[in-house]
Structure 1
């Protein structure tokens, strides 16, 4: 289902062009708290269904998108392994907007300035509906994981750090 949005983002236009059904959900932005857990609370979804998009780069200089549940931490070693690299680290905040076209808190793979390889945590397939940034702060897109994966052409991998119990949640 499509909902009226304050403005169509590149992500929404991409989904429209692919004939993918989605819902845009606006929320109030707190510049001091851009966490996925805060966003989840504001849009009424559990944090594990709200996926955050992080820009990383490998030791060879290749940039990558990593998409992980909002209540987890990206494991850079696992990302590097999935990408076939020796090492990965988060991109500098100053590089995010010039490389993606999006500001922190609004980064999404869909409609990004450059089509970097994208990796999504394998838990994305556990849900009927997930939420990711629609490409601007204060706006999330809700859609099925299968549609998100189709729109973004991801490689699925285990990307999160294990907790003390051994569970990645």
Structure 2
């Protein structure tokens, strides 16, 4: 009996080709279901503090920025704008996500977007040994060391999350 071939996403292929150690997690989801980040964390078996979501925002001149923050946190738009060096930002409308990044809602990864954008990681990333984020497809997650991922995408660490 032949072993089923693991479906690799482009994100996994890019990281492996660059020699970035990573673990691919495939979630068992009903067809068409897009779990929220906290649910995805539970399905991967990780605390929410170790699982990150990728958000895309627009600046006042139409520029785009990527923010990677813990799934249970909220992006503070003022802090995010400050990190990007612009006056203000607004979240990218969902209908623009796929044409701009190549990713759908629930499957957006900081790795392998259609073109590179300035990418900022919430400072909470320094508190974890490994982080989990989308592997570029709904139901697929990748686990990597934060320093490796930040270096791979040319990211920066900043204070991005809203105070609780």
Task: Give the superposition deviation at 1:124.
Answer: 0.5
**1:8 is aligned to 2:8:** yes
Write the distance in 2 (CA, Å) between the matches of 1:55 and 1:25: 23
SS of the residue aligned with 1:135? coil
1:56-107 Cα shifts (integer Å, max 9, x gaps)? 1111110110000011001111010111111111000000011111111000
TM-score, length of structure 1 as denominator length: 0.90
From the superposition, tell whether residues 108 and 5 of structure 1 become closer, same or farther in structure 2 (CA, over 3 Å). farther
Task: Give the superposition deviation at 1:42.
Answer: 0.5
SS of the residue aligned with 1:136? coil
Structure 2 equivalent of residue 130 of structure 1: 131
Indicate the RMSD between aligned Cα atoms, in angstroms: 1.5
Structure 2 equivalent of residue 166 of structure 1: none
Task: Give the superposition deviation at 1:5.
Answer: 7.2
1:28-51 Cα shifts (integer Å, max 9, x gaps)? 235555311010011100011100
TM-score, length of structure 2 as denominator length: 0.92
Write the distance in 1 (CA, Å) between the matches of 2:34 and 2:162: 22
Write the distance in 2 (CA, Å) between the matches of 1:69 and 1:76: 15
Structure 1 equivalent of residue 25 of structure 2: 25
Q: Tell me, which stretches of 5 or more residues in structure 1 are unaligned?
A: 164-169
The number of equivalent residue pairs is 160
Write the distance in 1 (CA, Å) between the matches of 2:57 and 2:10: 21
Task: Give the superposition deviation at 1:10.
Answer: 1.7
From the superposition, tell whether residues 21 and 153 of structure 1 become closer, same or farther in structure 2 (CA, over 3 Å). same
SS of the residue aligned with 2:135? strand
